[in-house]
Structure 1
Amino acid sequence: MDEPNDLIVVADHDEAVRSGFERLFGDHYKVACFAESEEALRFLKQNPATCVIFSCYHLPGRGGTAFLRASEMIVPQASRVMLTRETSAEAIKKALNEARAFIYLEKPCPQEELASALETALAHHKQQAKDRLLLERTLAGSVKLLIDMLALFHPEAFRRTGIVRKQALKIANEIGIRKTWELEMAVMLSPLGEALLPKQILARYRAARGLTEQERDVLDRSPAQTRDLLQNIPHLEKVSEFLYLSARGFDGSGFPKDGPTGEDIPMISRILKLLTDLWYASPEGGPDAAAFEALAIKRKKYDQKLLDIARKVLLDEGLEERSGQISECSIHSLRPGDILVDDVLTESSHELVLSRDHTLTPTTIRRLEHFHHTTGVRQPIRVERHAVPKEALDATG
């Protein structure tokens, strides 16, 4: 018999209800039961693949309505079901509107009705997951196009995204984050706030020159600008919150002043804080021992476990061999899919045009051609080039 895969969470103070769920559905599904809200929420944070959440109305802790609302922020694709003896219009209204419950069931609930509700909730969850995957792919493509265009007009702000994205994925793999879409979106969009800042502030900060109190306040508030830009875009609400807290120190320092501390800071925000500061502390070749020592001096600002993991998986990343062939190209011989090995600079003033590790697209190649005609670009350009699949060559005839 196949092992059960779908995870069902039940939060109910009644032991008979919890044991009933395990007895009825334990052979076909993974069932996790809890008697109060906070332990259930901690479990959900560790199990983002939860499919259906059942809660009673008078749940010890924060109550069933607040629990289901909080669970939506943690596992938005899970279907939520309110199971209660409350039959008042006010209770139903709270369950459906405030708790955003998918189904409302009255206790005692017949076994057949409960099984039917579970099947309906599972089907809803699977459709939600399918729709979200399609939307994520579409949105990821749109964000990638947006970042490519912004990187051409503000290369200094966006030059770190390619490097930090690779670093973030290595850390995610090490700590067991399997779904990385929100992490990747957060990395790609993290420079938005900086791109709106005065360039002189960014230049002084990157050169490790002192900032006035007013300039430091403007710099620290860049995550708030990013959140304001993104929070109304569907499916980027959580990403905007991760970015808002990405300057928050593990010890409670940084922006926002009244924000969370320690492990209450979302993991993605902690990763962004660490990797952003590491990028500024690192030489052009990538993180070295000195960069990690610089962060260790202010270790209280970072999640120590993350800092140790980053040192383990990133310290020697500059020594890694690239998987593709390194080619020296003129602008006219660049291809979509080529990855820049070095920064692309102007021919005379050596200003940054496009940062290393940027994957070229037809749009960015055309932009480089136009830039070369007007200003001049240093050539040849070193790129990492992967072999074109045979079927693609056959298709082009």
Structure 2
Amino acid sequence: MEKTTDLIVVVDPDDGVQAGVKRLFGDHLKVVCFAESEEALLFIRQNTGVAVILSCYNLPGRGGPSFLRACETLVPQAARVMLTRENSAEAITNALHEGRVFLFLQKPCKQAELVTAVETALGHHRHLAKDRALLERTLAGSIKLLIDMMALFHPEAFRRTSTVRKQALKIAKGLGIKKTWELEMAVMLSPLGEALLPKEILSRYRAARSLTEQERDVLNRSPAQTRDLLTNIPQLEKVSEYLFLSARGYDGSGFPQDGPKGKDIPRVARIIKLLTDLWYASPDNGPDAAAFEAMTINKGKYDPELLALAKEVLMDDVPEEKKKFVTQCHIRSLKPGDVLIDDALTEGNRELVLSRGHLLTLTTIRRLEHFHQTTGVRQPIRVERRQTAEEAVVAEA
């Protein structure tokens, strides 16, 4: 078998099974073994790149079929294989229907049969992973288009997505999270609830002004509306739940009142909560010491580890090789890749056209040109532009 970095999880109290799998596959795969279900599930929650799961039928804890069904929720791309001495029709039915296993092997299992089964399971996993990656890219592109369209009608609500996405990726890197698709989708869709709210309610809430009972009821139903909109979209079921809980404080405060608290709140939801509040506490040029000081006053609402990490990674110095420079230019001089430092506003009534932090594309530059021709856009516009090697030479000269 070709050497890979694929992860195989063995969950069986039989030391002989664990030792046998390690002997057969330890040189080619990363093999991790557990004797019961709950410890294995905790590991799988934190290592979602699992390729193959081997479980016995009579597993201590919740039992093999129930354990594998839970694994399907956590790592749907992992191939699930049942190893058991049970040969009754009922046992096989439970494994196939409740555990939704990919393969069912009888103990004792011959070495050649087990090797073939694992190779087949790995092939199945890679096929599922490839299909999911394609679906995620397609879905991500569709969501990006949706967000761009909604930003035209609700620019205030979606102004933070570009900035918060970059911050979320920094935090993910600090946490060692390699697969960030769900986090990025949650960030991009996080303003959806605000876009559904009447503007007067949202502005009163953000200004910390009192709300009527009816207005507060509308505000409280916003996360549930977001979840209801997204929950039926394939691959967004978890994202919808993260967003539903993203207003929940680490200390148990916030919405929903009967929701989880502490580490029981999904990590993505905790990150969204932290970064959303940080956005509103920060000045236009990004988070500073005062913003984190304001967050610390209400530190009970945030995961203390995430708060400390955010302060560390979001206020570090930018490496010299990645340094950008600020320039003021008219619309005709804007370039794809420029990032708006300030909001782009109309000349007369100063309505928001594009929000600060927006990464400009040819489409958005044409949108600015159109607005300027019809309504007028305040110029010059300050943008952050990555300095090319040629520009750096000119600047030094």
User: Do 1:36 and 1:61's aligned partners in 2 also have CA atoms closer than 8 Å?
Assistant: yes
Q: Secondary structure at the match of 1:51?
A: strand
1:394 aligned residue: none
**2:185 is the alignment partner of 1:185:** yes
How many angstroms apart in 1 are the aligned matches of 2:230 and 2:320? Answer: 35
1:218 aligned residue: 218
2:302 aligned residue: 302
User: Do 2:164 and 2:275's aligned partners in 1 also have CA atoms closer than 8 Å?
Assistant: yes
User: Do 1:4 and 1:29's aligned partners in 2 also have CA atoms closer than 8 Å?
Assistant: yes
User: Do 1:287 and 1:318's aligned partners in 2 also have CA atoms closer than 8 Å?
Assistant: no
1:357 aligned residue: 357
- For structure 1, the residue ranges without an aligned partner over 5 or more in a row are 391-397
Residues 343 and 238 of structure 1: CA distance in aligned 2, closer, same or farther (over 3 Å): same
The Cα shift of 1:316 comes to 5.6
Residues 319 and 33 of structure 1: CA distance in aligned 2, closer, same or farther (over 3 Å): closer
Residues 292-334 of structure 1, C-alpha deviation per residue, up to 9 Å, x if partnerless?
2222222221110111111112236799997445443333443
1:393 aligned residue: none
User: Do 1:285 and 1:318's aligned partners in 2 also have CA atoms closer than 8 Å?
Assistant: no
**2:154 is the alignment partner of 1:173:** no
The Cα shift of 1:189 comes to 0.8
Residues 281 and 95 of structure 1: CA distance in aligned 2, closer, same or farther (over 3 Å): same
Query: RMSD of aligned C-alpha atoms?
Result: 2.6
- For structure 2, the residue ranges without an aligned partner over 5 or more in a row are 391-397
Letter in 2 for 1:227: R
User: Do 2:284 and 2:342's aligned partners in 1 also have CA atoms closer than 8 Å?
Assistant: no
User: Do 2:327 and 2:384's aligned partners in 1 also have CA atoms closer than 8 Å?
Assistant: yes
Residues 13 and 316 of structure 1: CA distance in aligned 2, closer, same or farther (over 3 Å): closer
Q: Secondary structure at the match of 1:258?
A: coil
How many angstroms apart in 2 are the aligned matches of 1:49 and 1:109? Answer: 26
How many angstroms apart in 2 are the aligned matches of 1:365 and 1:334? Answer: 7
2:57 aligned residue: 57
Q: Secondary structure at the match of 2:105?
A: strand
How many angstroms apart in 1 are the aligned matches of 2:349 and 2:66? Answer: 58
Q: Which moved more, 1:208-217 or 1:277-286?
A: 208-217
The Cα shift of 1:181 comes to 1.5
Letter in 1 for 2:380: P
Q: Secondary structure at the match of 2:50?
A: coil
User: Do 1:4 and 1:27's aligned partners in 2 also have CA atoms closer than 8 Å?
Assistant: no
How many angstroms apart in 2 are the aligned matches of 1:125 and 1:389? Answer: 43
2:232 aligned residue: 232
User: Do 1:152 and 1:364's aligned partners in 2 also have CA atoms closer than 8 Å?
Assistant: no
Alignment size in residue pairs: 390
How many angstroms apart in 2 are the aligned matches of 1:337 and 1:64? Answer: 51
1:261 aligned residue: 261
2:125 aligned residue: 125
Letter in 2 for 1:232: N
2:394 aligned residue: none
User: Do 1:201 and 1:215's aligned partners in 2 also have CA atoms closer than 8 Å?
Assistant: yes
User: Do 1:286 and 1:318's aligned partners in 2 also have CA atoms closer than 8 Å?
Assistant: no
2:147 aligned residue: 147
How many angstroms apart in 2 are the aligned matches of 1:119 and 1:194? Answer: 48
Q: 1:35-184 maps to which residues of 2 (within 5 A)? A: 35-184=35-184
What TM-score, normalized to structure 2?
Answer: 0.90
Residues 320 and 156 of structure 1: CA distance in aligned 2, closer, same or farther (over 3 Å): farther
Q: 1:262-277 maps to which residues of 2 (within 5 A)? A: 262-277=262-277
Residues 197-236 of structure 1, C-alpha deviation per residue, up to 9 Å, x if partnerless?
1111111122222223432332233222222111222222
Residues 66-102 of structure 1, C-alpha deviation per residue, up to 9 Å, x if partnerless?
2112222322221111222333444333323332221
Q: Which moved more, 1:161-170 or 1:246-255?
A: 246-255
What TM-score, normalized to structure 1?
Answer: 0.90
2:393 aligned residue: none
* Deviating 4+ runs (over 6 angstroms): 317-322, 387-390
How many angstroms apart in 2 are the aligned matches of 1:320 and 1:145? Answer: 33
Q: 1:322-333 maps to which residues of 2 (within 5 A)? A: 323-333=323-333
